[in-house]
């Protein structure tokens, strides 16, 4: 999504300044035209020559020679996107308070495009209430803050403060700022993911092969489309920027979380593989072999989350279910659409090796009351984007 984007990377003075060179290269590789501005203290860590060579453009510093232009205004208006990487506590404080006392902060104050800051600093500086106040202010001003990671700091110990990896900064800004289609802007979407775990004893549970990949892909696609996303999941995979995750284990826990979240939601997408049954009794201690060979487990039915939501939904709410089938896919899917009072039922033929559980690809068919749309085999993310576009068209 960076093709044809014009970006200024502002490098400020910290030991992570050298990583800005990797970021600049990654942005250029992704198709952007990049210029670099540097504070005086950043130049103590890395030279302007490095960035001038990478970007093939002069670097903006406080020593910019008067050439008849007003550089901070010209640069601020030229760029679509502004990345402050690494962002020191000092530059965050200045940005949060509108202070413009050098070329970097003056240009940032004049900039109208989206801004991304990736802080890096000592953990005590990060934790300081003043820094946290400034970060909250920047977030309220619409600046995307990419938090530092926990890692080995220049101080010689592990703590939060390490600059996020350049690839992550590029990816997060892509998802959060550029890939957004706006199709679900202002909508609240609840998504379920993973296979539920039904406890047998303190060390065992009944579950299934769901990896949560389809649910996570849907969460990413919905976030890209501008939705406020809550993901209720039994598996925790890589965090998706801006997606709220609620971790659950059993079908009953998922039921409680979904019904609470659905009240305020516009759309539910039930991609989880929910166990239809759970053991009647959960043993307090690990079940032991009793010498006569077998063990009989009595099961009781779990609540049907999708059916409950389908029954409770208001006219302004849209409910989507999945169907994992191995035979007669269309008939079973249409039957579930009706029985669960869903607006859309997505069937995957889980007898295929390249679709359904665990794999990275899926092939699904979308069923509404009157339509049947088969999507081609594709990655789960590509499939999720098609599904989100389909849902957005119905709203």
Active-site positions read: 208
Nearest CA to 265 out of 225, 231, 236 is that of 231
User: Applying CB under 6 A, what is the total number of residues that bind ligand PMT?
Assistant: 27
Interaction with ligand PMT in 68-97: which residues (CB under 6 A)?
Answer: none
| Binding residue for ligand PMT, selected from 352, 357, 373, 375, defined by CB under 6 A | 357
Q: How far apart are CA 216 and CA 231, in angstroms?
A: 8
Q: Which range of residues in 34-42, 98-106, 167-175, 355-363 is near ligand PMT by CB under 6 A?
A: 355-363
**Would you count residue 354 as binding ligand PMT (CB under 6 A)?**
no
384 close to 217: Cβ distance less than 8 angstroms: yes
Nearer to ligand PMT by C-beta: 145 or 350? 350
Helices (H), 98-161: 103-110, 123-127, 129-140
**Would you count residue 234 as binding ligand PMT (CB under 6 A)?**
no
Beta carbons within 10 angstroms of residue 221's beta carbon: 31
**Would you count residue 18 as binding ligand PMT (CB under 6 A)?**
no
> Kindly report the CA angle at 43 between 40 and 44, in degrees rounded to 5?
100
**Would you count residue 189 as binding ligand PMT (CB under 6 A)?**
no
Nearest CA to 347 out of 334, 362, 327, 364 is that of 364
**Would you count residue 210 as binding ligand PMT (CB under 6 A)?**
yes
| Binding residue for ligand PMT, selected from 141, 263, 358, 371, defined by CB under 6 A | 358
Interaction with ligand PMT in 319-338: which residues (CB under 6 A)?
Answer: 321-324, 336
**Would you count residue 360 as binding ligand PMT (CB under 6 A)?**
no
User: In the bound complex, what is the minimum distance in angstroms from residue 321's beta carbon to ligand PMT?
Assistant: 4
Nearer to ligand PMT by C-beta: 49 or 299? 299
Q: How far apart are CA 143 and CA 272, in angstroms?
A: 34
| Tokens describing residue 205 | 């549970």
Site string for ligand PMT, 265-304 (x = CB under 6 A): -----xxxxx-x-------------------------x-x
User: In the bound complex, what is the minimum distance in angstroms from residue 57's beta carbon to ligand PMT?
Assistant: 44
Interaction with ligand PMT in 108-127: which residues (CB under 6 A)?
Answer: none
CA–CA distance from 310 to each of 23, 35, 234 (Å)?
A: 46, 52, 22
User: In the bound complex, what is the minimum distance in angstroms from residue 205's beta carbon to ligand PMT?
Assistant: 16
Task: Provide the CB-side half-sphere exposure for 290 (13 A, CA).
Answer: 6
Q: Sign of torsion, CA 177 182 183 185?
A: positive
| Binding residue for ligand PMT, selected from 200, 251, 257, 261, defined by CB under 6 A | 251
DSSP string of 201-231, one letter each residue: ETTEEE--S--SHHHHHHHHHHHHTT-EEEE
Q: What is the binding site for ligand PMT (CB under 6 A)?
A: 192, 210-214, 251, 270-274, 276, 302, 304-306, 321-324, 336, 348, 350, 356-358
């Amino acid at each position: 999504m960076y093709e044809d984007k014009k970006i200024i990377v502002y490098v400020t003075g910290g030991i992570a300044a050298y990583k800005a060179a990797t970021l600049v290269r990654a942005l250029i590789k992704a198709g952007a035209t990049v210029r670099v501005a540097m504070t005086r203290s950043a130049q103590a860590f890395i030279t302007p020559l490095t960035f001038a060579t990478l970007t093939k453009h002069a670097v903006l510093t406080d020593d910019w020679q008067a050439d008849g232009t007003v550089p901070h205004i010209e640069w601020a208006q030229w760029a679509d996107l502004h990345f402050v990487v690494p962002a020191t506590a000092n530059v965050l404080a200045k940005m949060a308070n509108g202070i413009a006392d050098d070329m970097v902060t003056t240009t940032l104050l004049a900039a109208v495009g989206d801004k991304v800051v990736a802080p890096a600093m000592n953990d005590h500086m990060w934790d300081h209430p003043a820094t946290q106040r400034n970060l909250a202010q920047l977030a309220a001003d619409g600046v995307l803050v990419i938090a530092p990671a926990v890692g080995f700091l220049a101080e010689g110990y592990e703590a939060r403060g390490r600059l996020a990896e350049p690839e992550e900064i590029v990816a997060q800004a892509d998802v959060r700022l550029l890939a957004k289609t706006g199709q679900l802007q202002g909508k609240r979407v609840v998504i379920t993911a993973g296979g539920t775990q039904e406890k047998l004893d303190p060390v065992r549970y009944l579950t299934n092969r769901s990896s949560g990949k389809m649910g996570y892909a849907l969460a990413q696609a919905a976030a890209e489309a501008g939705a406020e996303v809550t993901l209720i999941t039994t598996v925790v995979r890589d965090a998706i920027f801006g997606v709220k995750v609620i971790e659950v284990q059993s079908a009953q826990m998922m039921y409680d979380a979904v019904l609470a979240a659905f009240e305020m939601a516009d759309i539910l997408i039930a991609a989880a593989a929910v166990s239809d049954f759970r053991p009647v009794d959960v043993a307090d201690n690990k079940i032991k072999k009793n010498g006569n060979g077998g063990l009989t487990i009595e099961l009781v039915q779990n609540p049907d989350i999708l059916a409950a939501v389908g029954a409770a939904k208001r006219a302004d709410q849209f409910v989507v279910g999945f169907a994992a089938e191995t035979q007669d896919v269309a008939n079973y899917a249409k039957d579930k659409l009706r029985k669960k009072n869903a607006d859309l039922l997505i069937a995957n033929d889980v007898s295929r090796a390249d679709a359904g559980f665990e794999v990275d690809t899926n092939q699904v068919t979308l069923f509404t009351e009157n339509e049947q749309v088969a999507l081609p085999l594709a990655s789960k993310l590509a499939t999720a984007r098609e599904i989100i576009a389909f849902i957005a068209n119905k709203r």
